[in-house]
Each structure stands twice: as C-alpha cells, then as structure tokens.
Amino acid sequence: MAPGRGRASIIGRLLRGLLAVAVVFATLEASARLVLSRDVISERVRGTSSAAWRLDWINRHRDGVEIYYSFDVYHPTRGWALKPDLRDADPYGPGSLNSNSAGMRGVREFSTEPADGMTRIVLLGDSFAFGEEVADSETFAHRLQELLPQVEVLNLGVHGYGHDQMLVYLREEGLRYHPDIVLLGFVQDDMQRNMLSFRDYAKPRFELADGALELRSSPVPAPDEVVAGERYRSRFLDLVDMVGQAALWRSGVNQRRMEAVTAALLDEIAEASAAGGAATAFFYLPHSEELTNPDLTLDAERFFTDYCDERDALCLNLRPTFRQRMAHGFAVKTPGHWQESGHQLVAEALAVFLAEKGLVPS
C-alpha cells in the first residue's frame, strides 16, 4: 500500500472514531436532558448535589427570579448577602425588615469599636439567626440585647448560609468589630451546605487537604456569568454528578467527609475568634420534626454533641429546652421557621447560658 493511502486510511479511521464518540456523547446528552426535564425522574436522581441546586437556580432565573429573595444581593466571596440600607421592607409584614449600612439585620449602626463598658457579641448563623418570617424586633438577636442591657448584638445571620460562608463572613467582617463573644447558631441543614459549591446561589466551599482547610469556588461568579456559562455545561455531566453524589451519600462516604469538614470549619471559627480576642460558643437550634418527635435523634445533633464533648467547647443544645416547654403547652411553629415565641425562648435561654458561663454580666 502506498504511504499516502496508509495515512489516509489512518485519518479516516480516526475521523470515524471521533464521529462515533460524538454520536455517543450526543445521545447521552439528549438522554440526560430528557431525564432532568421530567420532575418525577429528576427528583429521584438529583440527591444533594451542587449541580441540582444550580439547575434549580437557572430555572428560577429564567422565570425572572435571580436569587431566592428580593432582599438578597450578590456577594463575590460569600455568594449572597443581605442588601445594605433596607428600610421598611415587608417580606414578613409591613416594615418588618431593615438593614444597616453594613448589611446587618436592623437599623442600628455599629462602630468597629465597642462602646466603653459594653460586651459585644457577633452572631453567626443561617435563616434562624437572621430571623426568617419575623420582624427585626422579634428576632432572638434583638430580644437577647433587650435582656442584656450591657451587651451589643451584631446579627450577621444570613439565610441559607453554611459554616463555610459563616467563616468567610467572620474573617472579612465580623472580627473587624472586635467582638468579645462569637455566637454560632448551629442548624442541622448547615452541615450539608458545607459540601456544596452551589446552594441558594453559587457559594464558596472548603475542602480538607492533608488536614487543612483549602478554599474552593472563590471568588463566586456573578449571576450574569453563571447564566452565560450555562450554555456550555453538559447535562450529562450534571446527571453523573447527581447520581454520583447520591451514591456517596448512601455509602456513608459523604457523611464522613461532611463531618470532617464541618469539624474543621468550627475549629477554624473558634481559632479565628480566639486570635481576635473573642470567646466562642455554639448553640444547637432545633426545628420541624426535631420538635415534634421526641424519639428522633439526627446525625447532626449527635455530631454537635460529640464535637462539643471532644473539644470541651462552650455549647448549648436548645432542643431539650424547646421540648420541655412544649410539654407544658408552649406552642411553636412546625415545620419551618419559628414565630416570635420561639425566638423569645432562644433569647432567654442564651441570656441564662452566657451569664452562667461568665461571658456577660449577670
């Protein structure tokens, strides 16, 4: 065979091979898009994965909703944040939501230095700390400050945050205000959020490498970048991610990873706080079935208890407090976020706890 014909034959086989690969990939891509377009099938395979949350956001965006709430704003290192300088917004009733110039819940402004004689608390958390579904004055942060007149409470709670975003927020903003105490409200959902690079919106996350936390997915892309990049994303690879993550959760691999990275994040929050001259206390906030089913013990609550015992950390589990009060007729909204009475209960329990630990004047 002539050399030219040999080369042509090889090139022809390569082209046919590439065409076959393209056909296979196109078939897989079309099949994946079909699967993900059917809600019943999609819900069965999606599991807890960044791809699933990203596709949810893309669908909402196409319907004209960029992020979950109108009071959100894009943030390049945390993903989203509370809009600063909100006045009398009404997501939970007329005039129920305000924010200061730094994007903290409420109208009060804070200097970076505490006033003389005041103990300053920086509160980290998700929607329960933020005060979803209640007015500014009804949040447990506000009520705690009313119960402790010599204390300032800076509410850095933001809905949907994981401990990774709380750590970033503390490093970038919280410690600038020179707190005496850093309080972190621990909610079961926060742990899974630590595993995601996309949840309510794109977000940073940390991975453990040789025992050390390494920041990933930062800076966070702006919404228009996420939308523009979507045209180049493969639904087949999204489906592979969903199925793979579901398998890792079922096998227990992701549970172990989640607990390891969560412990490392809490350690880093405590260490960063201590380096800034602040004590750290963690408190477990129960909700939904945790309040209605006394026999239920979630992995998250077990993790919280074990973590606190192993570190000899300052911790308060509020589930027994809620359950004891509910046994005597106390009403709290379930499922979902508590109403005003739930926040008042948390504030009272925290005030007692902080005084007993000698962190605030009794």
Provide mean pLDDT across the span 221-229.
Answer: 93
pLDDT score for 174: 99
Indicate the range of 15-19, 315-319, 356-360 predicted with least confidence: 15-19
φ/ψ of residue 12, rounded to 5: -60, -45
CA distance 244 to 249: 9
DSSP string, 97-149: B-B-TTS-BSS----SSPPTT-EEEEEE-SHHHHTTTS-GGGSHHHHHHHH-T
Nearest to 159 by CA among 169, 151, 171, 172: 169
Decide: 29 and 234 in contact? Cβ < 8 Å: yes
The one-letter code for the residue type at 225 is: E
d(CA 357, CA 188): 25
pLDDT attached to residue 242:
87
CA–CA separation, 267 vs 213, rounded Å? 10
Q: Which helix (H) or strand (E) covers residue 248, if one does?
A: helix 235-251
Q: Please indicate, yes or no, whether the overall pTM of this predicted structure exceeds 0.85.
A: yes
Strand intervals (E) in 156-220: 181-186, 205-209, 212-216
Model pLDDT, residue 35: 61
Q: What is the pLDDT of residues 178-218, one digit of tens each?
A: 999 999 999 999 999 999 999 999 999 999 999 999 999 99
pLDDT category of residue 28 using cuts at 50, 70 and 90: low
Beta strands in 217-351 (DSSP E): 279-284, 314-317
- Please compute the mean of the pLDDT values over residues 333-343 and round it to a whole number: 94
CA distance 153 to 146: 10
- Listed range (35-49, 57-71, 143-157, 212-226) with the worst mean pLDDT: 35-49
Inform me whether the pLDDT recorded for 267 exceeds 70: yes
Place of tokens 């880093």: 268
Percent of the chain with pLDDT over 70: 88
Domains with residue ranges and CATH for the chain: 38-356 (3.40.50.1110)
Burial 347-361 (b: 16+ CB within 10 A, else e): bbbbbebbeeeebbe
Place of tokens 């109403």: 339
> Rg of the Cα trace of the chain?
24
Q: Which of 94-103, 156-165, 300-309 has the lowest mean pLDDT?
A: 94-103
Q: What is the mean pLDDT of the chain?
A: 91
Give the pLDDT of residue 191: 98
The fraction of the chain above a pLDDT of 90, given in percent, is: 73
Res. 95 pLDDT band, cuts 50 70 90: confident
Say whether pLDDT at 119 is over 80.
yes
| Of the candidates 34, 33, 35, 67, the residue with the CA atom closest to the CA atom of residue 198 | 67
Of residues 57 and 12, more confidence is placed in: 57
Phi-psi region of 341 (alpha: psi -120 to 50; beta: other; left: phi over 0): alpha
Structure tokens at 249: 């959760």
Higher pLDDT, 347 or 37: 347
